[in-house]
Structure 1
């Protein structure tokens, strides 16, 4: 049957009288198409009537595309058109949500075992899907190992909701089961964190024991490093000159709660603690002095801030004794920005932080640019409104710290900095007011542990398979 392939204009396509009405998650498809374009051509007849590809056409329009690849074929009447539409949809069996999640997770572990820098963004690019989709499927794959009953959920959405309903309790119970280490009463925060870090260092075990020991080490570190309490009170108890680097991400002194109805990650706002504008200058000054006193004589400090308080933050840091670079460093999030008023305001695609120096420290990555380019955490995957990608935090640590450094994180929030600290075999501790945020952080640690275990198991299985193939045939 003759046909030709070409790009056609979306506004020329006629798509009336379609029998398929349920288009599924059309917005996710639109996001994928916006990033990668339409991979599979649609089918139209010679009069531009849509024959197959209704979801792709709808998503392409949502993605503001002007044209779409199409197969133009001769249709032998209405019956032929209907049969093609039917065949396209019934002679196709998609994976169910659990099969897809487990397969994507397996790919993630295999790629991670080959490339230590592999991440969800790279996998999303490879699979031509969104970062959000990859993160969600990996989370569900881990969830299936912890709660196998989730496989009985009919839809991905049902499984996602059920998992979020139980995971906090599961994290606490799992930690109680795994943690065999108890910190001494009366120990200071930095001493307790050091003991937890020492207990977290991998030791020599048999291959059979190693993965479980590393799992216990990770949760020991997590339990000892994330302390629930008031930073302004607890920082007074930290020994002077005991930390080698500080990553400070304080409340920004903005009324974020008033934006509840407009922000995409509104489900995380309860974890955000504000400081009033009246109290903010004193809060800044007290925090800056406490951090400065905790740092050794030659140390860097990264201090995140909102542009509204630029002058006040810089003044507080200077009064505490820090030297500050004239030009702030930037976390660049990529082309897709964020704004609550797209009609009148440009979308923000970066955040700023001051690089502060106590004394004359030396960078580990000397000559590095002051622009850090990493994709943000998708809103649906955040456990805290200010959560940043772990890859960004690892790069910051690699730039400003050295092996065996002790890191101070006065405002832990999501705990992502602690996760990066542990992955890079450093020491660290900090505080947060929210017990709920701590529990969500512990969940993330358990997910990290499961991902590392699966990656290690994949490496071992591949090595074993290679050894087996390499063995010479045995004679009878």
Structure 2
């Protein structure tokens, strides 16, 4: 990018640090605050009483409203115990504009023997006003079928998202109890900001928000009271990038009925650019799926072109430092 990014990881009390940020200066806020479930976050425990937790939430969300630009958006993760109260605070008390209640579905989670095992978290999407930015083309998912009348740039992903948890064996797993997938944050950041915008995470934790900002060309501000997590975030920003650690499996979906060779060739190249730009490691999977579906219709030249796409991607992955987004880390 022409302008160097600014990536700030700030250690401090969230309410005090938010007060230092200029009003109407941030384009997007994406955050996963403590759910008040008595989790151990090292230097802090998430165990306020009911009224104190809601008062704390009211204060930090109020500061976020002040900081947001008039066309800005805020996404807040929240567990089931408090989400209805947080919703009421945001809509009724702070008069933010409700847009979407997003469900993040995951296939692995807490096991229960009495009652049903939880398999989702929720994300509230509110905007500061009725006039807000939303970049649908940046987050579309592939169509199931090729049709000339369809928008082959893709469809709206809807409000139920499936991303896998970051398993403890994942090489990107950090020492944080509630680390969220990068692909999840990628979707929100791409949907509600553009390159050069400023994104804030008041509870940065393992640094996922700032890492995604770094790799998508956004300025990032992350706050956390735990100094260990701030150190973790700064170290994470120095790591090589080989693609985000999670992906909506639909992004590698190969449309049916790509029977015309010229249409198929053009679409395959477009698919990689449109849907897999930050997921080089998924290109191989996508090309394999293309061959399984269409190899019997391809000549040697087209098959060779597919193999070259995979080779180019592997070469790109093997030279990750060339792909690092520039930016100063503070």
Bin for the TM-score computed over the shorter chain: 0.5 to 0.7
CA shift in 2, pair 1:386/1:198, >3 Å: farther
Deviation at 1:459, TM superposition (A): 5.9
Counterpart among 13, 18, 28 of residue 235 in structure 1: 18
Paired with 2:317 and 2:190, the residues of 1 have a C-alpha distance of 27
Confirm whether residue 439 of structure 1 aligns to residue 231 of structure 2. Answer: yes
Residues 264-275 of structure 1 mapped to structure 2, 5 A cutoff: 269-270=41-42, 273-275=45-47
Q: Who is 1:337 aligned against? A: 109
**Contact kept in structure 1, 2:39 and 2:45, CA below 8 Å:** no
Q: Who is 2:271 aligned against? A: none
The count of residues paired between Structure 1 and Structure 2 equals: 226
Counterpart among 364, 367, 385 of residue 177 in structure 2: 385
Counterpart among 88, 97, 104 of residue 315 in structure 1: 88
CA shift in 2, pair 1:385/1:271, >3 Å: farther
Structure 1 residue matching 2:42: 3-state secondary structure: helix
Q: Who is 2:142 aligned against? A: none
Gaps of 5+ in 2: 138-155, 244-279, 281-313, 321-330
Q: Who is 1:375 aligned against? A: 164
Q: Deviations over 1:258-301 (max 9, x none)?
A: xxxxxxxxxxx426642502411111111111000101111111
- Structure with more of its chain in helix, by fraction: 1
Deviation at 1:256, TM superposition (A): 2.3
Q: Who is 2:117 aligned against? A: 347
**TM-score for both structures, normalised by structure 2:** 0.62
Deviation at 1:449, TM superposition (A): 5.1
CA shift in 2, pair 1:338/1:302, >3 Å: same
Deviation at 1:355, TM superposition (A): 0.7
**Contact kept in structure 2, 1:421 and 1:427, CA below 8 Å:** yes
Structure with more relative contact order (C-alpha pairs < 8 Å, separation 6 or more)? 2
Confirm whether residue 280 of structure 1 aligns to residue 53 of structure 2. Answer: yes
Confirm whether residue 361 of structure 1 aligns to residue 153 of structure 2. Answer: no
* Largest Rg, 1 or 2: 1
Counterpart among 300, 314, 321 of residue 73 in structure 2: 300
**Contact kept in structure 1, 2:176 and 2:206, CA below 8 Å:** yes
Paired with 2:217 and 2:14, the residues of 1 have a C-alpha distance of 24
Deviation at 1:456, TM superposition (A): 4.3
CA shift in 2, pair 1:302/1:455, >3 Å: farther
Q: Who is 1:99 aligned against? A: none
Deviation at 1:364, TM superposition (A): 0.7
Deviation at 1:401, TM superposition (A): 1.6
Paired with 2:19 and 2:101, the residues of 1 have a C-alpha distance of 28
CA shift in 2, pair 1:344/1:406, >3 Å: same
Paired with 1:428 and 1:321, the residues of 2 have a C-alpha distance of 26
Q: Deviations over 1:237-276 (max 9, x none)?
A: 111100111012211122224xxxxxxxxxxx42664250
Gaps of 5+ in 1: 1-196, 201-220, 258-268, 461-476
Deviation at 1:450, TM superposition (A): 8.4
**Contact kept in structure 1, 2:30 and 2:188, CA below 8 Å:** no
Confirm whether residue 251 of structure 1 aligns to residue 34 of structure 2. Answer: yes
Q: Who is 1:407 aligned against? A: 199
**Contact kept in structure 1, 2:39 and 2:47, CA below 8 Å:** no
Residues 89-108 of structure 1 mapped to structure 2, 5 A cutoff: none
Paired with 1:343 and 1:291, the residues of 2 have a C-alpha distance of 39
Deviation at 1:418, TM superposition (A): 0.3
**Contact kept in structure 2, 1:419 and 1:445, CA below 8 Å:** yes
RMSD (Å) for aligned C-alpha atoms:
2.6
Q: Who is 2:318 aligned against? A: 458
